[in-house]
Amino acid sequence: MPRENSKALDRSATVAVVGCGAMGAGIAQVAATAGHRVLLFDAREGAAARAMDGIADALAKLVAKDRMREEDRVALLGRLEPVERLAALAPAALVVEAVVEDLEVKRGLFRDLEGIVGEEAILATNTSSLPVTAIAAPLKRPERFAGLHFFNPAPLMALVEIVSGLATDRAVAETLFATAKDWGKSPVFARSTPGFIVNRVARPFYAEGLRALQEQAGDPATLDAVMRDCGGFRMGPFELMDLIGHDVNFAVTRSVHAAYFGDPRFQPSLIQQELVEAGRLGRKTGRGFYQYGAGAETARAKDAPEAPRPSRVSVEGHLGPAHGLLAMIREAGIAVEELPEPGPGHPIGRLVVDGVTLTLTDGRSATRHAADIGRKDVVLFDLARDYAGASRIAIAAADGAARGSVATAAGLFQALGKRVSVLDDLPGLLVMRTVAMLANEAADAVLQGVASAADVDTAMTKGVNYPLGPLAWAESIGLDLVVDVLDALNRTYGEDRYRASALLRRKVWGGTFFHD
């Protein structure tokens, strides 16, 4: 957190924005809304004027919806001033760059700006992928340079990553933090590493969905529904990738993978590569994982058929994060018989329904689980953000389970008011393995000094709308379970991709937490 004496830019200070595309225009609107005079410059002829028109249209819509007064709209527009020469930015106390993601273009721009603005002016880049240290390297005073990474659309998204390069003065980062907060944003500190916080920690959200699809665990619509209705995410990975654009999402993944010298955690997907090669980039081209436009059919998740409700459920031990299911089962009028713990080596308890064993996934496949406990009819169910509030549960049966095992398990969850998605026997199912991998990447970001645990969780809730920060989520289900899931995935796949963070292991061994 910034020191108590850290101050935001005075609202009388002039802010300049270079690059007047959607992101630059959004940043200019944010600064002007806060009361700053804002100078807009773009080397493309007419771009600054077009940005002004776009902002004016956006504000007019707010007025029409009674979310802004007309006099405030006029005053805000009066604080925006397009300029035709870079030299006109000389009065700026803060310059924010939002031009093309090209290292040499940005370096050249800031070299020019350094000779134009005053000695105390702060220079900031909105880059989402380039190293802040590398952009600042040619500057005479790189200590006054930092990343000020907004998320699109800037007027609506709360998160701003304050990114320090190797030479960034701490006071500069703190001033930017205080300024972003004064502008109504939720800022976080980050160190300049590939992907910063969000674009690094979010990689598993897409990667595990793509891995599940590659292994034919389910179709995109069903997998998306599981992540939304069971996991509590606002969007599933496939609809989100279609929205972002596969060219953009794939490029970020490749960039992070290359920047980390081919670390398998960030390995790109052949499925997404094929979509890019085919020009199926998502919404913007009318087709990605889904089809869009006139006449396109809406893809629907596959639900298990209605099955008979059970009359009795036996419970062996404590169900861990799924323990809340017991109250729901009783409320549904189903008799519950509580049996002893299943014994050493089985930290999560089980439900037994008509001879079928149901238990929360711990990273093993249902088939492996069945072999380990010596039972044939085993069905695993996925993690839910909130079992009471979830409208869907995902399940998977062991390969050797009797044909009716899936119907028996589905009947129980349907009796609790849930839709049921039957996946193929995917180790860790989908929500559990994704949350474990998100927490793992978040833990490594903390371990490597990229950001604090609090800032990582803030970044993921405010920047990509996760229902809970990955580290807080991991603590809520148990850090030991998260490590167990990762270790089970590592054993199954034999890939370094699923190696557990050393910091996660330390927390488990020491009995400590990320958030005290």
101-137 pLDDT, tens digit per residue, is: 999 999 999 999 999 999 999 999 999 889 999 999 9
Pairwise CA distance, residues 459 & 466, whole Å: 9
Which residue out of 126, 164, 192, 199 is catalytically annotated?
Answer: 199
Is residue 63 within a helix (H) or strand (E), and if so which, with residue range?
A: helix 47-64
**CA 415/CA 418 separation, integer angstroms:** 7
Q: Give the domain ranges of the chain.
A: 14-192, 200-285, 312-422
3-state secondary structure of 411: helix
Residue 346 has pLDDT above 70, yes or no: no
The CA distance from 289 to 294, in Å, is 16
Mean pLDDT of 274-291: 96
Which residues on adjacent β-strands are paired with residue 187?
A: 160
Which H helix or E strand runs over 160? strand 159-164
Residue 198 three-state SS:
helix
8: left (phi over 0), alpha (psi -120 to 50) or beta: beta
Q: Which residue has the higher pLDDT, 1 or 482?
A: 482
133: left (phi > 0), else alpha (psi -120 to 50), else beta?
alpha
pLDDT band at 340 (very low <50, low <70, confident <90, very high): confident
Q: Which of 36, 81, 97, 128 is catalytic?
A: 128
Q: Could you tell me which residues come within 8 angstroms of residue 85 by beta carbon, excluding any fewer than 6 positions away? A: 41
* Chain position carrying tokens 């760059």: 97
Preceding amide of 342 cis, omega within 30: no
Per-residue pLDDT of 81-97, as tens digits, reads: 999 999 999 999 999 99
Taking only the tens place, the pLDDT of each residue in 437-489 is: 999 999 999 999 999 999 999 999 999 999 999 999 999 999 999 999 999 99
The pLDDT-based confidence of 344 (bands split at 50, 70, 90) is low
Two tokens at 32? 């002007």
* pLDDT of 268: 96
Distances (CA, A) of 505 to 135, 478, 501: 36, 12, 7
Q: What is the pLDDT of residue 19?
A: 96
Q: Work out the average pLDDT over 383-387.
A: 97
Is 249 annotated in the active site? no
Task: Single out the catalytic residue among 81, 126, 149, 405.
Answer: 149
Could you tell me which CATH number the domain at 200-285 has?
Answer: 1.10.1040.50
Q: Which helix (H) or strand (E) holds 242?
A: helix 237-244
pLDDT category of residue 343 using cuts at 50, 70 and 90 = low
Beta strands 159-164 and 145-150 are: antiparallel
Report how far apart, in Å, the C-alpha atoms of 194 and of each of 108, 261, 383 are: 22, 11, 30
pLDDT at 289: 97
Q: What is the pLDDT of residue 129?
A: 83
Across 61-76, b (16+ Cβ under 10 Å) vs e yields eeeeeeebeeeebeeb
Sign of CA dihedral 227, 233, 239, 245: negative
* pLDDT score for 295: 85
Out of 114, 161, 174, 208, which one is annotated catalytic? 161
Residue 386: C-alpha distances to residues 229, 317, 324, 325, 390 (Å): 10, 20, 9, 10, 6
Whether 346 and 373 have beta carbons less than 8 Å apart is answered as yes
Tens of pLDDT, residue by residue over 162-174, are 999 999 999 999 9
Exposure of 232 in the CB half-sphere (CA atoms within 13 A): 18
Compute the mean pLDDT over every residue in the chain, rounded to the nearest whole number.
95
The residue-averaged pLDDT of 255-273 equals 95
- In angstroms, the Cα distances linking 502 to 31, 187, 245, 483, 497 are 41, 27, 34, 10, 14
Rounded to whole angstroms, how far apart are CA atoms 31 and 8? Answer: 12
Better-predicted residue by pLDDT, 98 or 3: 98
Which helix (DSSP H) or strand (DSSP E) does residue 396 occupy? strand 392-397
Strands (E) across 32-116 are located at 37-41, 80-82, 94-97
Fold of 14-192: Rossmann fold (3.40.50)
Catalytic annotation on 149? yes
Domain 312-422 top-level CATH class: alpha beta
Question: Residue 406 corresponds to which tokens in the numbers above?
Answer: 């899936």
Q: Is 222 exposed, middle or buried (0-12, 13-18, 19+ CB in 10 A)?
A: buried
The residue with tokens 């600054």 is 48
* Confidence label for 271 from pLDDT (cuts 50, 70 and 90): very high
Q: State the Cα–Cα distance between residues 423 and 421, nearest whole angstrom.
A: 6
User: What is the average pLDDT across 54-63?
Assistant: 95
Instruction: Write down the pLDDT at residue 345.
Output: 57
Write out pLDDT tens, residues 4-30. 567 999 999 999 999 999 999 999 999
Quick one: what percent of the chain has pLDDT higher than 90? 94
Per the annotation, the verdict on 440 as an active-site residue is no
Annotate 356-375 with b (16+ C-beta within 10 A) or e (fewer): bbbbbbbbbbbbbbbbebeb
Question: Is 199 tagged catalytic?
Answer: yes
pLDDT above 90: residue 208: yes
Mean pLDDT of 42-66: 94
